[in-house]
Every structure is written in C-alpha cells, then in structure tokens.
Structure 1
Amino acid sequence: MTTVRTAKKLLLGREIANMMKATDTTQVEVAKFMETSPSRVNGLLAGQNSISVGDVERLARHLGFTEEKYLETLREMRRDNHKRGYWNTGYRRAYSEEMRLRVDVEKHADRIREFEVEIMPGLLQCESYVRALYADLPDQNGLTLEDQVQARVTRQDIYEKDGPPRVHFVLSESCLRRVWGDKAVMREQFAYLLRLSQREHVMVQVLPFDAPVGRRTPIGNRFTLLRIPSPGAAGPLELAYTEGEGEFRYLDDKKAVDAYDNAWTRLTTAALSFEESRKFLRKVGREFA
C-alpha cells in the first residue's frame, strides 16, 4: 500500500505524540501495546503510517484519555486521512509525491507565509503565466499541458473557501522582472497580482534590489511557513517548507521553525510596506506595456 502523507495524518501523529509525552510513555511501550514495531510507531508519529479508528481510540483509552469529546476529536482526525487513490485521477496525477503533502497542507492551513525569488509563487500565478512555465515541457506519463496548468491553478481554490487562510508573501524584485512567456503574459500576471493583493486575506510585500538588508537577512533562501489549526490538545502544527534541486523538506522541529520565523521577521522588516509594494508593482507592470 502506497504511503501518502496528509495534513490530517500529521495532526494525528502529533496528537498521539502529545498523549505519549503527557503520560511519559515511550515508543517501545506503545509498540508493545499495539503489537507492532517501534519503527512503525515512529512512522505513525511522523504522519507516514496509518492507524485504524479503533486502534487510535484503544490507544487513547490505554493512555488514560477517556473523555468522549476528545475521543471524537481523534476519530475525526483519523477519518479519511489516508486519501488512498485521491491523487491518481485527473489533473491530481500531475502533483509529485513531494507536492501532494504541500497541496494538502495548504487546504488545511489557516496561515501561509512565503518568501520567493526568481519566480512568482504558485499561489500567485495567473493561468497564462502557468501555461508559459510549462509550455516547453513534453507530455509524460499521460499528463498533458492542461493537466499541469489545472493542477497549479486549482491550488488557489483556497482563496474562495469559507474561512480562507491568511496568506502573506514577500517577493524579491527578481520575481517581478524574470520574464516568462511574453510581455502580454507579464502584463496579465501583474494585473492578477495587484487584484489578489487587494483581497482582505492576501498580503504582498516587495523586496527591491536596492532595499537595505541586514547581513543576516536570508535574501537568497526561498521558504514557506505553514500553520495548520488543530482541534486536539497539541495545538496548531507549524511547518517550514524548503525546496532545492531535487530536495523537498518539511520541518516541524521547533528550533528550525523558529529560525525561519526569525528570518521572516527580517525579510518583512526590510521589504516595502503593503501600499508601497502595490505602487512598486504598478511601476514595474507599466514597463511591460
């Protein structure tokens, strides 16, 4: 059975870890009770392995968590958290294994903060810009250009749902000046970006080339910070997402997340204000007229 990491599996694993910490229970002890291996338990805590609804309730009761309201919270975290087969039909096949978790987390997040260089963030790309990005890629594994475009654009459905997340972007000026497609595509992209920046839950700041930045401001390291609210006792899940050549990392270690949070503070301080950023976007956009 293919292992699919999802937001709900991450939340459930974290909740189980919280119960273990509260009762001073080790992975070895949990493994013995569940009649499985410690490595299997470790995968469960990391959101990589699944557990049945009955087993998660049985484990909670064993650890002393018997309140019915809390048990229902655990059952809700477990329901449909595996999404078996969900990613194997239609345009969803275009998401790589690494991107599947990112897309699922975006759908559950209540706050997304992203710093980007060289290319517009996927959550800010208009359709023609996406089409220009994928135009030179050959069809592969039955995936067409339309599949790739729809997979990217559909991520922005999060803006339309009830209670949309608060999304905040800091864009290096290099994002604005790197041309994809032609001038018509770039004009459309700037108009789209400006419209999005006017939404109540969308915030866009620009970091110009001539903005003075501190020595420790990470102007070359693109990253995303995501927060997933949790109905459980463990509180919201904070993740830092980084991406390199052939490498995708999700960090939930508090020390690592705090380091990226500090980096975010430096970037937002160095960037233009929201209104100054919109003026800057209009200025650069006119250059493509």
Structure 2
Amino acid sequence: MAKAANKESAGGATRLVSHLAKVFRERERLTQKELGAMLGYSAAAISALETGAQPASDEMLIKLEAVIGDGLGVFEVARELVLLDKYPSQFKDYAMLEQRAVSISSYVTLVIDGLFQTEAYARALIGGGYPPLSDQRIDELVAARMARQALLDRAPLPHIELVIEESVLHRVVGNRAIMREQLLHLISCARRRNVTLQVLALDKGRCGEHAGLYGEMKLVETPDHTRVVYMEPQEESLLISHPAKVSGYCRRYAKILAQALSPDESLGLIERLAGEE
C-alpha cells in the first residue's frame, strides 16, 4: 500500500523518476487513468508513482520506457538507479561495486550469502530482524536482494567464491521446509561453472588454527583489477581500499580457503544435510 511517508524517505533516483513520469505523461496528453490502462495499472497507482508515495517497480519502469519513453532510454537507465535507492544506505556503495565485479570472494559466518539466498529464506531473514520493518519495506528489500542475483548470469560471467561456516547450514531460518529449499538451492549454485563453494567445518579450530575467527568479509576485484574489502558489522559499512590492508585481508581469506573442506567434500556435506544422500 502506498504511503505518504514514502515521499520523505524516497531516494534521489526515485524522486526523479516520479517527476519524469508525470512530465512524459503530460507531454503525451494522457490522464493518469489513460496511462494506467496502457501500462496495466490503476489510475491510483500512477498517482502514487508521480507523488512518490509508491516507488516504481522494475516492471513498471520497463513498461514506462516502452509506452512513453520515446526511445530516450530514460526509464531503462533508471532501473538500476531506482534499485540502488531500495538498498539500505550502508549497502549502496558496495552494491554498485558488486554488479560490476570481475570476481567476488566471500566468507560468511551467520547466514547464507545474499547472492545465494532463496526468496523464502530472504523474506524470513529480513522479516525476522530487529527492529521490525513494515511489510512494504520487507517486500522492497527482498525484491532488491533477488535482483542482485542476476549477477550470477551476467556477461561476462564473474567468478564467485563462497566459504560458509558449517554452523550456517544448521541454523534454521523461517522453518525447516524453507531451510531445506535453501540447501537445495545452494547445491544448485555450487554446480555453476563460475561458482566455487566451500564449507568451513564445525570442528575447525580443534587443532588450534581457525583463520576465520575475526568474522565475515567480502573481497571484490573491480573491472580495472584492483581489490577492495567490504564488511558490514552491525549494519555499519566498511569499504577498505588501502592496498596494504587489502593485502592483509586477502592473505587471511586465502588461509580460510585452505582450511575449508574441498568443493566436492562441501557439496557432499550440504547434500547430506538436505537429505539428498
């Protein structure tokens, strides 16, 4: 449901799209009802778009481009920018890097990485967080998280590595049916040619060595082949580009990778947990 409060929280791209949609509609001498009928929406939905009470969905932007875009590509370009508006503020800088990355290497310790989450898992995770979010905000965040996964099929294909603590595979999010679906999805992802998935076993550390005790991290290789590190402790954002610091994190990640189970062993473990063996 559209809310007036959304007008105050809307990002710059969302506000611009609202203005452009009205300008382009009026240029075509269309009423809100007429444009809505052409797009498959109600007049109220077009009004909510133009006032900023309800941000445009990706589907609506595609239709706006086709119907009133006049070949300028304005609404097509806006799709990525509006999506960024929907991300939490601390995540936006990383999101832009992620979509253009040559490679991403992640180590996660609490939940499944967002690039590999099912919609049901993501909804349970986001909806169960604190402080509680509105249903609309949950819908926005889930949709934005699912949209990120287009990266896995982007051309050229990025190389994605994921090292996941075994405890994450045992932590039930939502319910057991959601968790089993999530494990099956992980199995499917692990079989992609551009994905390497490894599990850091629960008993790692019993011999005194565990390189992952300082927590989660993401290493991103950019199109110009520089590397940055991204971390998000307690909803704060840390984006590290200092070469010496990045080098240190890369060495730590390499040690975590070496301590993890092999890709085949990891896949077998996930299959057993999912009941596929």
- The bucket for the TM-score relative to the shorter chain is 0.5 to 0.7
Query: Deviations 1:67-92 (Å, cap 9, x if unpaired)?
Result: xxxxxxxxxxxxxxxx99964x4x54
User: What does residue range 140-289 of structure 1 map to in structure 2 within 5 Å?
Assistant: 143-212=136-205, 215=209, 217-230=211-224, 236-286=225-275
State the alpha-carbon separation in 2 of the partners of residues 216 and 282 from structure 1.
24
Structure 1: stretches of 5+ with no match in the other structure: 5-82, 231-235
Partner amino acid for 2:227? E
> What is the total number of aligned residue pairs between the two structures?
201
Q: Whole-Å Cα distance in 2 between the matches of residues 216 and 192 of structure 1?
A: 27
Match 1:138 to one of 122, 130, 133: 133
Distance 1:146-1:216 versus aligned 2 partners, 3 A rule: closer
**C-alpha distance in 1 between matches for 2:125 and 2:152:** 22
Task: Tell me the amino acid that sits aligned with residue 185 of structure 2.
Answer: Y
Seen in structure 2, the aligned counterparts of structure 1 residues 261 and 3 have a Cα distance that, compared at 3 Å, is farther
For residue 106 of structure 1, report the CA deviation from its aligned partner: 1.0
Q: Distance in 1 between matches of 2:243 and 2:252?
A: 14
* Structure 2 segments unaligned to the other structure (5+ residues): 1-10, 14-76
Q: TM-score, normalised by structure 2?
A: 0.66
* SS of alignment partner, residue 225 of structure 1: strand
Identity between Structure 1 and Structure 2 (%): 25
Shift of 1:216: 6.2
**How much has 1:154 moved relative to structure 2?**
0.7
Q: Measure the CA separation in 1 of the matches of 2:237 and 2:94.
A: 10
Deviation, structure 1 residue 132: 0.8
Sort the Cα spacing of 1:255 and 1:216 in 2 relative to 1 into closer, same or farther, 3 A: farther
Q: Distance in 2 between matches of 1:97 and 1:196?
A: 28
Q: Structure 1 residues 176 and 103, CA, compared in 2 at 3 Å: closer, same or farther?
A: same
The structure richer in helix per residue is: 2
1:94-138 CA distance string (max 9 Å, x none): 202221111111111011000000101111101110111123443
Distance 1:216 1:253, change over 3 A: farther
CA contact (8 A) 1:131 1:149 kept: yes
Partners of 2:100 and 2:166 in 1: CA distance: 30
Alpha-carbon spacing, 1:85–1:155, altered in 2? closer, same or farther (3 Å): closer
For residues 17-56 of structure 1, the aligned pairs below 5 Å read none
**Cα distance in 1 for residues equivalent to 2:235 and 2:116:** 23
- Distance between the aligned counterparts of 1:102 and 1:129, measured in 2? 22
- Cα distance in 2 for residues equivalent to 1:208 and 1:185: 22
* 2-structure distance, mates of 1:117, 1:268: 14
1:98 aligns with 2:87: no
